[in-house]
């Protein structure tokens, strides 16, 4: 695929939620903006910056429809 890279904020947004498992891969037919909300790591994370990142992702999940 040889498409010009668009601004990441213009790409479709996908958040993968993981709890008790591991995402092995993410496939897409077009560029997407992907983040992983790993609840297992969030619970164990001691760095406040990372905890804030996870909290922001969780809040963003409330604004997106669940598709799977």
pLDDT the model gives residue 6: 60
pLDDT the model gives residue 40: 81
Is 2 domain-assigned? no
Is 3 domain-assigned? no
Mean pLDDT of all residues belonging to the chain: 83
- In which element (H, E) is residue 18 found? strand 13-18
Is 26 domain-assigned? yes
pLDDT the model gives residue 20: 83
* DSSP category for residue 60: H
Is 50 domain-assigned? yes
Range(s) of the domain holding residue 55: 8-61
The tens digit of pLDDT for each residue in 36-63 reads 888 887 766 788 888 888 889 999 999 9
Is 1 domain-assigned? no
Is 68 domain-assigned? no
Report the alpha-carbon distance of residue 34 to residue 37 in Å, rounded: 10
Is 66 domain-assigned? no
Whole-prediction pTM: 0.69
**Buried-state track 29-60, b at ≥16 Cβ within 10 A, e below 16:** eeeeeebebbeeebeeeeeeeeeeebeebeee
Domain count, the chain: 1
């Amino acid at each position: 695929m040889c498409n010009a890279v668009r601004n990441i904020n213009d790409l479709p947004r996908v958040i993968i939620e993981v709890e008790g498992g591991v995402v092995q891969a993410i496939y897409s037919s077009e560029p997407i903006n992907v983040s992983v909300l790993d609840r297992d790591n969030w619970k164990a994370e001691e760095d406040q910056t990372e905890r804030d990142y996870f909290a922001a992702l969780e809040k963003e999940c409330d604004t997106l429809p669940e598709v799977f």
